[in-house]
Amino acid sequence: MRDIRLIIMLVAGGAILLASMAILATNEKNVITYRQAAMRHGGYVFNATDSGPTSGNEGDMVRVAGTPVVVKPAVDTAFGVRANAPILRRKVEMFQWQEDEYAGQTSYEMDWYDYPVDWTVFKQPYHHRNPSSLPFGRANYLAGAMTLRGFTLSPAIMASMPGRVPVVPDFSHLHPNLAASFRIIDGKLLSSRQPDSPQLGDLRVSWTVAPLQPVTIIARNRDGVLVPARNVDNEPGFELQVGIRQILDLQPDLPAEPWLPWVWRVLALVLAGLGAHVLLRGISAGRADLLAAATIGITLTFGLASVMWIVVVPKTGAVLIGIAVLCLVITAWRLSERAA
């Protein structure tokens, strides 16, 4: 009867040890898979919408959501036009000839174009000459400074703000020479003396902005500034979407984040120690050394973890191996002491 009980203890101890190893291996595989996927985007992402920049998230990838605040407006210095927006875009158009062909017939009409139309390729070029260039072109201007939930936005992130809506600028800062050359018509500047009848070479200047709207950004926190992560697979090193989004909305290739990985690690360690204790009792006919059981459990769990992590993070794997070897030495010493 006693022999049967010892066999049962051996089987039960081995089963508990195998279960602990299975739990640990599954947990570490999930953590490593998630870590490798996250590293393609710069690393783990911490939610910092409520906390803002702190020493705890310095250098980390953070998720920040909300409506940005313009601290310094975007300014078109050539015209003195400014806007409380992430991006101010100037569009310049010239009234020019354009050649059209339809059903074998060639026709010519004048319209507004934001680029020089090459008249030299026309079939009838000399009667439809266009100016060779625009006196000034389109341009984009970023806000001087913007913040989001306490973070400052870097120029690269400001330049990625989506959307394009017309804006009627405040022309009170328009330079005097430009005020003399243009008329303000429906929020635009026109050089036409008769706005309803523009002539060849007349100019029309208008502006659009990227609107202020709720956005979600994942980027790296550098001294309170959201900047792109470097040396990552996903260019440009950050994510930005309109609206309040979750991490998986911006990084859909990420697997599900492991649930309470440290709880599973502690559980695997406890089960390994318990399994070793039961196994030792079976081997030594009902007697077992608690210290030896504990060191066996640590040796097995840390040894398995080191094998899984040594390729992914060599330093972590080396530390785990060191702990496993130390516990193995303690186990051997303890068992030799009991045998003596």
> According to the model, what pLDDT value does residue 204 have?
95
For 177-226, write each residue's pLDDT tens digit: 888 889 999 899 999 888 889 999 999 999 999 999 999 999 999 999 99
| Three state DSSP letters for 295-320 | HHHHHHHHHHHHHHHCCCCHHHHHHH
Compute CA 194 distance to the chain's CA centroid, rounded to the nearest angstrom.
51
Q: Is the pLDDT of residue 324 over 60?
A: yes
For 8-20, write each residue's pLDDT tens digit: 888 888 899 999 9
Look at the alpha carbons of 310, 314, 320, 322 in this order and tell me if their dihedral is positive or negative: positive
Q: Is the pLDDT of residue 338 over 70?
A: no
Query: In which band, very low, low, confident or very high, does the pLDDT at 2 lie, cut at 50, 70 and 90?
Result: low
Tell me the sheet residues that pair with 208. Answer: 89, 166
Tell me the sheet residues that pair with 82. Answer: 75
Burial call 230-253: b when 16+ CB within 10 Å, e when fewer: eebeeeebbbbeeeebebeebbee
- CA–CA separation, 235 vs 247, rounded Å? 17
Nearest to 64 by CA among 239, 306, 208, 182: 239
Q: Is the pLDDT of residue 1 over 60?
A: no
Q: What is the CA radius of gyration of the chain?
A: 35
What is the average pLDDT score of the chain?
Answer: 90
Task: Choose from 3-7, 38-42, 97-101 the range with maximum mean pLDDT.
Answer: 97-101
Could you give the percent of the chain with pLDDT greater than 70? Answer: 97
Q: Is the pLDDT of residue 79 over 80?
A: yes
Q: Is the pLDDT of residue 340 over 60?
A: no
Mean pLDDT over 270-293 rounds to 80
> According to the model, what pLDDT value does residue 288 have?
61
| Strand duo 87-102 + 105-113: pairing | antiparallel
Helices (H), the chain: 2-39, 155-158, 176-181, 247-250, 261-283, 290-309, 314-339
Domain boundaries, the chain: 2-37+258-339, 41-65+215-250, 68-210
For 40-77, write each residue's pLDDT tens digit: 888 889 999 999 999 989 999 999 999 999 999 999 98
